[in-house]
Amino acid sequence: MSTKHMTEPLVIAIDGPAGAGKSTVAQMLARLLGLAYVDSGATYRAAALKVLESGVSPEDEEEVIRVVVSAEIGFVPRQPQPQVFLDGKDVTTKIRALEVTRAASRVSRLPVVRQKLIALQRSLVKHPGVVMEGRDIGTVVFPGAPLKIFLKADPKERARRRVRQNEEQGRPSTLNDTLSEIARRDQRDAERQASPLVAAEDATIIDTTDLTAKEVVERILELARKKGLPVPR
């Protein structure tokens, strides 16, 4: 038997609020380490899109559960951008719309929805491993992950980054609107009963306000080396 697959795949968990730098950092790290990149938020976005396309109100719990349970959600961790499928259709771009962002924050409060998507997220771990980013990766999805990072940043800086990102994606937004949107989402994500946004006890917290993505990645690599994980020098 080959010894290649005798060890567990490596899981690096990166959690934190919107705009803290999770996706940029997780993508860079995955590329550097030759691991898959999984954006767990995209699975909640696909569920939210299903709810909106079904004409169901994100507040109608019973109906949300009914349509999400029957949704076929697929995630293909491809570089440079993962592909997301809903009922066989590629929805990679569609799930980035503002109304989907809003609905995702509501839909993700429901434990039944979380259960389904957590099972999907766990199924995406393949050799040699993944860098998975989200809100509850280190606390709930992979509590045993050997490296857990919690990124945070000043809300104003997070809003600035989001405005820049929206602009790059052809969706102009104002700083004030984005700041209040971020504050509303933070509150909902932190206050929900099911998997609220908190750092795992054994996570390393990095404040990215004054750091470049490259600097954050360097810190994470340093931590990985200290833990004896297989990362290049």
Tell me if 41 contacts ligand DC by CB under 6 A: yes
User: Under a CB-based contact definition with an 8 Å cutoff, are residues 9 and 128 in contact?
Assistant: yes
Which residues have C-beta within 8 Å of that of residue 135, sequence separation ≥ 6?
A: 15, 16, 17, 40, 41, 189, 195, 197
* Options 102-110, 169-177, 212-220, 222-230: segment touching ligand DC (CB under 6 A): 102-110
Q: What is the C-alpha to C-alpha distance for residues 87 and 107, in angstroms, rounded to an integer?
A: 18
134: number of CA atoms within 13 Å, CB side? 32
Please work out, in degrees rounded to the nearest 5, the angle formed at the alpha carbon of residue 190 by the alpha carbons of 164 and 212.
35
Which is closer to ligand DC, CB of 58 or CB of 134?
A: 134
Tell me if 208 contacts ligand DC by CB under 6 A: no
**Smallest gap from residue 118 Cβ to ligand DC (A):** 8
DSSP state, residue 94: G
Binding mask 123-142 for ligand DC (x = CB under 6 A): -----------xxxx-----
**Smallest gap from residue 23 Cβ to ligand DC (A):** 7
**Smallest gap from residue 131 Cβ to ligand DC (A):** 13
Tell me if 105 contacts ligand DC by CB under 6 A: yes
User: Under a CB-based contact definition with an 8 Å cutoff, are residues 104 and 41 in contact?
Assistant: yes
Tell me if 181 contacts ligand DC by CB under 6 A: no
Please give the residue ranges that form the binding site for ligand DC (CB under 6 A).
Answer: 18, 40-41, 44-45, 104-105, 108, 134-137, 185, 189
